[in-house]
Structure 1
Amino acid sequence: MRLPRIIIMLAAVGSVMAGHAQRAPYLDASLSPEERAADLCGRLTIDEKARLMMNSSPAIERLGIPAFDWWSEALHGVGRNGLATVFPSCIGMAASFDDEMIDRVFTAVSDEARAKNTEARRRGQMGKYKCLSFWTPTVNIFRDPRWGRGQESYGEDPYMNGRMGTRVVQALQGDTSRKYIKLLACAKHFAVHSGPEKTRHNFNIENLPARDLWETYLPAFESLVHDGGVREVMCAYQRFEGEACCGSNRLLQQILRDEWGFDGMVVSDCGAINDFYLPKRHGVAEDARTATALGVMSGTDVECGSVYKHLPEAVKRGYLGEDAVDVCVRRLLAERFRLGDFDPDSLVEWTSIPMSVVDCRAHRDLALQAAREQMVLLKNNGVLPLDTGKKIMVMGPNAADSTMQWGIYYGQPSHTVTILQGMRGRLGDSLPYMQACGITSSTEKVSIFDRITGEDGTPGMSGTYWNNTEMAGEPAATARYTSPVNLDNGGNTVFAPGVELEHFTLRLRGSFVAEADEELDVIYNNDDGLRIIINGDTVYERWKAEPLNHRSRKLAVKKGKRYDIGVDYMQVADAATLNFDICRQKELTVDEVVARAGDADIVVFAGGISPAFEREQAKVREPGFDDGDRTSIELPAIQREILRALKSAGKKVVLVNCSGSAVALSPEMQSCDAILQAWYPGQEGGTAVAEVLCGDFNPCGKLPVTFYCDDAQLPPFDEYRMEGRTYRYLREAPLFPFGHGLSYTTYKYGKPRYADGIVTVEVRNTGKVAGTEIVQLYLRRRGDEKGPNKTLRGYERVTLAPGEKRTVSIPLSDKLLETWDEESGRMRVQPGRYDVMVGPSSRDNELKTISVTI
């Protein structure tokens, strides 16, 4: 049994005190984290140092060092650790252009994280996803909409990623003037990283222009170091100019530490050190020992993985000196001391945050406000706000999907308001609905998983895990699944805390009572071993190593009869995938969909794509998706056909597009009367969608990414040069530009002025309702023909009543004037004439421009 931390600490203190006349310095809370780390490092054996340098670090009881896991998630809420508030996806929150809201959201997240950690420690239940090191924010530039993980970022603009990422870091880490830090935030993935997912373990980025590196790929990271004070940086998977990023002297030493002065710690992405030497990967090391040496000497302090267990042997063989190891150990120990990880709760004020903050009403209200602000109205021909006197119908594959709204790397909310529930809550429970299709197929699939309960009557299937293939011995973990099971170990993600990545088994059990005499479909996709058991009978079994298979079978049920469902899964090695659902399925023609729309005047179609397909190394076989990335940015064909047919049938069509990235919607400009970009809007997203569509909330979000016309506008996915990418280098008109977003009111801009480093502009609400406008400031250096079209250098939200005007001020500091100078080989302010542009988007004809001399 694992002892609570306080018992381990008391025993260690007694041991140390017995051997020393005075208290050991590392136990003295009055000393600095660096002083305590240096003292403790000197007391460790090389084997103990190696254990501390792996992300799952066990307790070292002889010195009172508690167990610690460096891997916890807080992308848009505490993730993978049970109950938590689920806020909108990061790309959605970026669409708010609201720094203050970002600050409030991640203050709430850090409160929940601290409370959950304190509770776990007091219960002696520490482990992965439960500690105080949170691997967020992601500030990689969303350079290509096909990248499945772009939804983790804050868009395609370097300035915006740095500005919002800084607020995330500050809210997570808390007031750094206090003795103890609240949490550790982590800037990732350093650097020049944004897909493809499929080749990230062997891909080399070379011949990148220095200007692209310094003006596009590095600024956000520099902001998080200098302005945010981030304490962790995660190095990326791929190679940059021949060096694996987690073994790159240029990135981790020359730039990060020497040029920027970063004094925190570096952690590897999960499995990145393995990529140094495994076959068909980077090939920069011969074996695990030399990979360990390369990682340590380059400055990767903590490895997410298990290669660093070879560290003692690497030192013994002379591949690296123990002094290099000590540098890493002192850095990581200093961060743990900074958290108060070794000190009693009475000294660490953050431990007083109560569990009652987790998913509290205030946080749910904040999730709703964030969802409101991130909605972007792309098109409206007057159909919105909805005329509630008309006959309205809801359709679409995302209308009733709660897990879609959670995005990726999510926690478990107490309740999610789907788009259908939000609309019915606003317009009445009798509001008609049909799914009409799947994301990519003409199959209408309605899951009954929400009707499954455990033996105790609680919702969902109960899961028991073992870290062996025999389902023997003490279970490694338990879990409960209340929505269709979609599990895989992509990105080195375990199925549940405490479960290994490979060589494990899972037993799922649950039951449901049939609602009618009908035929259901049992769907199961998996690698390796699987058994399906229904009412005690094994209806499917293949218990051996196998590649990924996609299967289904029919289940005839009788109304009122109980059906006991069992799923046994065995994972042998390498990739792991398990999907399981029970549902009603029916193939529908487009004509059938239109016919079922009946006499509806307006159809609200909640479509788009899904985080089940668009995410980190997703193992899916769907048209338009590949290993978590997209092969096409077009809206899936079946959805396009339905929208076109509904319009031809005389319906007013409102598309609610849910996605974590830009979708090419050129045909939808003809088939849809209005388009609302809802992103993945979190647990309260359905309410926010309904409020916007019905006019209860005036939309104010703006696009943090370019919406391209079609696939043809995109350069090759694996080309990292910026030419032709994003609003900064796209030389032709997009469908919707960066910064675009409509409102139910209108605004008029005056002529901007510039003086003493401040740009001012008068903005007037010329419409009939109050609204919030996002004033955007762009800059362009004249004569810089190879440079960007323009680049964002500031933004400000202003809320105006009808007829009200206000002068908005945006600072333009010297740092924001810097560009890459080829002659000197550095970023600097280059004298000359600059165009200062202010307006509601990045589109040229919407910007008011003045020329200034710098």
Structure 2
Amino acid sequence: MVDSLNIGQIRGKINIIISFLMIFFLSSCNQEKMAFMDTSLDNEERVKDLVSRMTLEEKVFQMLHEAPAIERLGIPEYNWWNECLHGVARAGLATVFPQAIGMAAMWDDQMMFDIADAISDEARAKHHDFAKQGKRGMSQGLTFWTPNINIFRDPRWGRGMETYGECPYLTGELAVNFIRGLQGDHPDYLKLVATAKHFAVHSGPEPDRHSFNVHPSQRDLVETYYPHFKKAVKEAGVYSFMCAYNRLFDEPCCGSEYLNSLLRDEWGFEGYVVSDCWAILDFYNPGDHEVVENAAQASALAVRFGTDLNCGSSYPALLEAVANGYITEEEIDVSVSRLILARMKLGMFDPPSMVPFAHIPYDVVDSELHRKLALEAARKSMVLLKNDNNTLPFSKNVSSVAVIGPNAHNVDALLANYNGYPSEPITPYQGISRKLPSANVKYALGSRYAEEFPYMTVIPSHILFTDETLSENGLQSEYFNNIDFRGNPEFSGFDPKVDFQWWTNSPKPGVSNDEFSVRWSGYLVPDVSGKYALGVEGFSGFRLYLDDELIVENFSLYHSMTDFKFMQLEAGKKYKIVLEFYQDNNTHPMVRLLWDKPGQNLKQEAIELAAQSDLVILCMGLSPLLEGEEMAVDIPGFFGGDRTDIVLPAIQTDLVKAIMELGKPTVMVLLNGSALAFNWEADNVPAIIEAWYPGQAGGQAIADVLFGDYNPAGRLPVTFYKSINQIPDFSDYSMDGRTYRYFKGEPLYEFGFGLSYTTFDYSELNIDTQVMADESFDVSVLVTNTGSMDGDEVVQLYVSYPDNHMAPIRSLQGFRRVFIPAGESREVKFNISPDQIGLFHPEHGKVVSAGKIHVYVGGKQPDSISLKNGNVVMSKVEILGEFICR
């Protein structure tokens, strides 16, 4: 029957047929007519030939993220939308590394390259495997919208976890190596296309991003908001930029003459620019920027000022824009040529035999080598914040351990956002259990993340029933080979519960995992009366009905969504339940039927477990369900993906206080994506570790650190403030009073801070005391491991300007992560360029002026104590002459 046809398989076969027809068609054409397929010509000639063959309509539709095939020219469809923030995202099985903020905490630029190289291997292998199946949809291509290198200027920003922190220098250095690892170093081909985003001056608030208008000072632009983007162009050769949603100086960033000139004319960027998704809609959408009246004007404005590719659906209006004289076809040709050139550089128009990256085997995905790399990255990302009286590492000769907290056994806290899906994620509870096979290791949730936010788990089968007789547990299931439940199901049966992730496997025999729908139906019979949260996590779309009332509905092509509703339910009562899920050609269908059950005394359960245990490990923090991109969250402390306060939620602090009263050896492990204020815990808990969202191997890495199999050396890439009262308003984009460079208060924990199980001394600082303004200079220092354990040290170089009150308090301008065995020393060298010590000048942008600077080298930021005890050494340097930086 037509209704039961496997639409996804048919689409795949059609794409394969088109590919064969393309080969046949091209081989039958003379070389002169089809010059764009002649690999002996240079790319510019080939691009010019191909664009000349396109109609205006074909050109316009190639400028959409979902570019259709041009069958008459043998061009297959291509979807430009891919993500790989910390692993290949939304494309099924992939190695998942620590979230970007966690990778930044490694302070290891070489490791950033290694991770990106592994990610690009997996991306290439997955792309070619998809292409063999005729799949060319979202998350299946080679153009990746990564990395996010916005400055994490305020801890309230929900997307700050996607960045490399608050420092332009650290961000730039890490971004350069990550981009190089993604794009490769082949002279003719790009391994992937990396995308530096979001350009420019973008970092929240999330709910205002479609209308926000930013007017930063030129000083802040030159010294904070631009340097790392410029470095991505000049040093990494990044091939794509994504423009931001907000306006800058009244111009939408995706339609900014100023930013286009800066990017292309001043910095020499030669790649293409893609809009943030549906950002062009904001140009004319009521209540947003409203700088033009309609889609035609908005699209013309965007293209004229350099936005070549539209993530969204506004650019078809370019046909109207040309007809009305808003833009010319020649201007459109510029953008189309840039896009076609990118695809050529990726080898999409060449035989696979010519493209070196086309032969990466699929078995690199989730390989043992990449798993080890994810573990190493997670270990390196761990920051030891406090360790009074050498509480850590714990002895493994322990009988019983309580692992407590909302992040103790939660996979979401490993994966963060913009993530892939590992085959074996290891939670802290699992990692500690494996570390101590002879001990009695038990887990208790202890508390929810926040008072008004439910802790959702999969509804178990014992309270689900297939029909009203309540004779069989589970739910009836119907699987359809279409997205709207038409006709007869391809498969009918029952599932004990709804907890599914379909990577490349079929949901059921004969059912495509590209386009399908499932209806689960039956009865839910609660065993406790009270206020429940009922919900669904799904990717792409879902609808949940209770007694025929629609209670939850959501649809997202971009990331998994969790939605829920609070319901008052009675114990023993039968509730008819229906869940409909539909998958619209996404690459990672997944769905879970969830609840939060009332009547549980989570705090008391945790206290009782802790009282019976020899030691307690508290896994607290935040969740990617609370902080992230433009989220539908509105509870005390959290709004729209951002935070309205930075304190650890009170419900968690209450639990920590109760546990500490027991007097047990206790450590607190934080899993979160942004800085937290936990003042009571910092004063009262003897040992604290910041673990971020640590990726698939996070639980093992945490256990390795807690029990002494790894010596932590991570450093904070952001300042941990004591309170939001210490910093300016979130919507104020001035850098005054923000980040370690301009904050004059006392932080809870400073940028660059992190402890070790060993100690390091610094000596023999060598540096010229006089330096010409236009010359670089060398710095070297001897670092000695004076403790009893081998370990890494993160050597940090800061520059300050004692005679310039407008300059930052200090700026990081060098770092090295070095391994030093116990009792041994290593010489660490830096070379400081004029650009690194230049400061804003109103006429020349950045200038190195005559005067004094102070250079500090150590394992942390300088202060009187660290200078006195040998953790930091300092030298005064006189700069001679003047130099205008370019």
TM-score by length of 2: 0.86
Aligned to 1:647: 660
Aligned to 1:574: none
Amino acid at match of 1:141: I
Q: What is the deviation of 1:829?
A: 2.1
Q: Distance in 2 between matches of 1:741 and 1:579?
A: 38
Correspondence 1:51 to 2:76: no
What is the SS of the residue equivalent to 2:352? coil
Unaligned runs of 5+ in 2: 1-9, 467-473, 502-511, 556-562, 584-589, 769-775, 867-871, 880-886
Q: What is the deviation of 1:447?
A: 2.5
Unaligned runs of 5+ in 1: 486-495, 500-504, 572-576
1:219-234 map, 5 Å: 219-234=227-242
Amino acid at match of 1:74: C
Q: 1:444 to 1:7 in 2, by over 3 A?
A: closer
Correspondence 1:711 to 2:724: yes
What is the SS of the residue equivalent to 2:297? helix
Kindly indicate whether the alpha-carbon contact (under 8 Å) linking 2:241 and 2:274 is maintained by their aligned counterparts in 1: yes
Aligned to 1:632: 645
Q: What is the deviation of 1:530?
A: 7.7
What is the SS of the residue equivalent to 1:166? helix
Q: What is the deviation of 1:394?
A: 1.1
Q: 1:449 to 1:124 in 2, by over 3 A?
A: farther
Aligned to 1:849: 874
Correspondence 1:269 to 2:269: no
Larger deviation, residues 593-602 vs 222-231? 593-602
Q: Distance in 1 between matches of 2:189 and 2:453?
A: 54
Q: Distance in 2 between matches of 1:801 and 1:21?
A: 63
Amino acid at match of 1:251: L
Q: Distance in 2 between matches of 1:746 and 1:217?
A: 35
1:489-568 map, 5 Å: 507=518, 509=520, 523-524=534-535, 532=544, 539-542=547-550, 550-552=565-567, 554=569, 566-568=578-580
Correspondence 1:183 to 2:192: yes
Correspondence 1:202 to 2:211: yes
What is the SS of the residue equivalent to 2:594? strand
Q: 1:353 to 1:803 in 2, by over 3 A?
A: same
Q: 1:84 to 1:589 in 2, by over 3 A?
A: closer
Q: How many residues align?
A: 815
The partner residue of 2:762 within 738, 744, 749 is 749
Q: Distance in 2 between matches of 1:622 and 1:139?
A: 28
What is the SS of the residue equivalent to 2:449? coil
Kindly indicate whether the alpha-carbon contact (under 8 Å) linking 1:450 and 1:483 is maintained by their aligned counterparts in 2: no
Q: 1:344 to 1:205 in 2, by over 3 A?
A: same
Aligned to 1:375: 382
Amino acid at match of 1:523: L
Aligned to 2:305: 298
Amino acid at match of 1:774: V
Correspondence 1:732 to 2:732: no
Aligned to 1:492: none
Q: 1:356 to 1:680 in 2, by over 3 A?
A: same
Q: What is the deviation of 1:649?
A: 2.8
What is the SS of the residue equivalent to 1:721? coil
1:454-469 map, 5 Å: none
Task: Please list the CA deviations of residues 731-784 of structure 1 after superposition, one character each: whole Å capped at 9, or x if unmatched.
Answer: 112111111000000111115221461111111111111111000001112311
Aligned to 1:102: 112
What is the SS of the residue equivalent to 1:597? helix
Q: Distance in 2 between matches of 1:370 and 1:402?
A: 17
1:59-74 map, 5 Å: 59-74=69-84
1:137-156 map, 5 Å: 137-156=147-166
Q: 1:569 to 1:361 in 2, by over 3 A?
A: closer
Q: Distance in 2 between matches of 1:460 and 1:154?
A: 45
1:383-532 map, 5 Å: 383-390=391-398, 391-428=400-437, 430-441=440-451, 447-448=457-458, 471-472=485-486, 507=518, 509=520, 523-524=534-535, 532=544
Aligned to 2:253: 245
Amino acid at match of 1:766: T
Q: What is the deviation of 1:651?
A: 2.6
Amino acid at match of 1:413: P
Task: Please list the CA deviations of residues 204-226 of structure 1 after superposition, one character each: whole Å capped at 9, or x if unmatched.
Answer: 002x1101001100011111111
Q: Distance in 2 between matches of 1:643 and 1:106?
A: 38
Kindly indicate whether the alpha-carbon contact (under 8 Å) linking 1:37 and 1:330 is maintained by their aligned counterparts in 2: yes
Aligned to 2:619: 606
Q: What is the deviation of 1:524?
A: 2.1
Amino acid at match of 1:600: S
Amino acid at match of 1:626: F
The partner residue of 2:793 within 765, 769, 773 is 773
Q: 1:739 to 1:24 in 2, by over 3 A?
A: same
Correspondence 1:800 to 2:782: no
What is the SS of the residue equivalent to 2:676? coil
What is the SS of the residue equivalent to 1:797? strand
Q: 1:466 to 1:408 in 2, by over 3 A?
A: farther
Correspondence 1:840 to 2:859: yes
Q: What is the deviation of 1:136?
A: 0.2
Aligned to 2:850: 831
The partner residue of 1:657 within 645, 648, 670 is 670
The partner residue of 1:764 within 777, 784, 790 is 784
Q: What is the deviation of 1:89?
A: 0.4
Kindly indicate whether the alpha-carbon contact (under 8 Å) linking 2:404 and 2:606 is maintained by their aligned counterparts in 1: no
Q: Distance in 1 between matches of 2:226 and 2:48?
A: 31
Kindly indicate whether the alpha-carbon contact (under 8 Å) linking 2:521 and 2:579 is maintained by their aligned counterparts in 1: no
Q: 1:370 to 1:21 in 2, by over 3 A?
A: closer
Kindly indicate whether the alpha-carbon contact (under 8 Å) linking 1:652 and 1:672 is maintained by their aligned counterparts in 2: no
Q: Distance in 1 between matches of 2:40 and 2:676?
A: 55
Amino acid at match of 1:568: E
Kindly indicate whether the alpha-carbon contact (under 8 Å) linking 1:466 and 1:473 is maintained by their aligned counterparts in 2: no
Q: 1:330 to 1:464 in 2, by over 3 A?
A: farther
Q: 1:549 to 1:387 in 2, by over 3 A?
A: closer
Amino acid at match of 1:803: G
What is the SS of the residue equivalent to 1:263? coil
Larger deviation, residues 798-807 vs 724-733? 798-807
Q: Distance in 2 between matches of 1:595 and 1:125?
A: 53
Q: Distance in 1 between matches of 2:117 and 2:475?
A: 31
1:343-354 map, 5 Å: 343-354=350-361
Kindly indicate whether the alpha-carbon contact (under 8 Å) linking 1:834 and 1:851 is maintained by their aligned counterparts in 2: yes
Identity of aligned residues (%): 42
Task: Please list the CA deviations of residues 607-642 of structure 1 after superposition, one character each: whole Å capped at 9, or x if unmatched.
Answer: 000111111011123321111011111000011111
Q: What is the deviation of 1:587?
A: 4.0
Q: Distance in 2 between matches of 1:804 and 1:787?
A: 37
What is the SS of the residue equivalent to 2:158? coil
Kindly indicate whether the alpha-carbon contact (under 8 Å) linking 2:626 and 2:638 is maintained by their aligned counterparts in 1: yes
Kindly indicate whether the alpha-carbon contact (under 8 Å) linking 1:114 and 1:132 is maintained by their aligned counterparts in 2: yes
Correspondence 1:326 to 2:358: no
Q: Distance in 1 between matches of 2:263 and 2:181?
A: 22
The partner residue of 2:343 within 326, 333, 336 is 336
Q: Distance in 2 between matches of 1:288 and 1:196?
A: 26
Q: What is the deviation of 1:554?
A: 4.5
Amino acid at match of 2:84: A
Q: 1:189 to 1:467 in 2, by over 3 A?
A: farther
The partner residue of 1:40 within 28, 46, 50 is 50
Q: What is the deviation of 1:802?
A: 1.5
1:126-145 map, 5 Å: 126-145=136-155
Task: Please list the CA deviations of residues 450-479 of structure 1 after superposition, one character each: whole Å capped at 9, or x if unmatched.
Answer: 879999xxx9999979997x5448999xxx
Q: What is the deviation of 1:64?
A: 1.1
Larger deviation, residues 683-692 vs 380-389? 380-389
Q: What is the deviation of 1:483?
A: 5.4
Task: Please list the CA deviations of residues 71-113 of structure 1 after superposition, one character each: whole Å capped at 9, or x if unmatched.
Answer: 1010000000001011110100111111111111111100110
The partner residue of 2:831 within 800, 803, 811 is 811
Q: 1:350 to 1:732 in 2, by over 3 A?
A: same
